[in-house]
Amino acid sequence: MLTNALIVLVTVVLMEVFSIVAHKYVMHGFGWGWHKSHHEPRTGWFEKNDLYAVVFAGVAIALIWFGTRGAWPLQWIGAGMTAYGALYFIAHDGLVHQRWPFRYTPRSGYLKRLYQAHRMHHAVEGREGAVSFGFLYAPPVAKLKQDLHALHGGRLQRPPRQDGATARPDALAARDPAN
């Protein structure tokens, strides 16, 4: 049981590493066609970018299915992917983009740093020159500001505010008091 729990935990950590790489090189690369919707104003409940979650959920379901049919430890890897997906949903879709029916903007601690880091990711128009590609890991805000300045030299179309938030032009961001 301890080994299985460790596999789940390690999978969650490795999913964040995988997600950073996939976000930077796939979503902001050849997969921009789906991800672009996430960097534009959302008009409905869903955006094309949500297809990434569907694909990864399908992989997790398949791993759990094969694992429960004797291919150990695949079910535990699938469980770790599912746990990561739940954390992603809570942190990214809920906390940062507030796609929930209630609003919460963290005022201190790691959640505030996570919130600010991802809002700074959206400070850039388009797919080039973005910073902070993690969903659960957030680099220090001061470093992200330095990186943005180095990449853009003060030419941001939507510069981050002092608290790290940005002005993402969608209805949810407009209701965000930190924006």
Length of the chain: 179
pLDDT, tens digit, 9 for 90 and up, residues 26-80: 999 999 999 999 999 988 999 999 999 999 999 999 999 999 999 999 999 999 9
Identify residue 90 by its one-letter amino acid code: I
Give burial (CB, 10 Å; 0-12/13-18/19+) of 101.
Answer: exposed
pLDDT, tens digit, 9 for 90 and up, residues 136-153: 999 999 999 999 999 987
Q: Residue 23: is its pLDDT beyond 70?
A: yes
Q: Average the pLDDT over 82-102 and give the result.
A: 94
pLDDT, tens digit, 9 for 90 and up, residues 113-144: 999 999 999 999 899 999 999 999 999 999 99
Identify residue 167 by its one-letter amino acid code: A
Residue-level pLDDT at 164: 44
Q: What are phi and psi of 9, to 5 degrees?
A: -65, -45
Cα 111 to Cα 89: distance, rounded to the nearest angstrom: 14
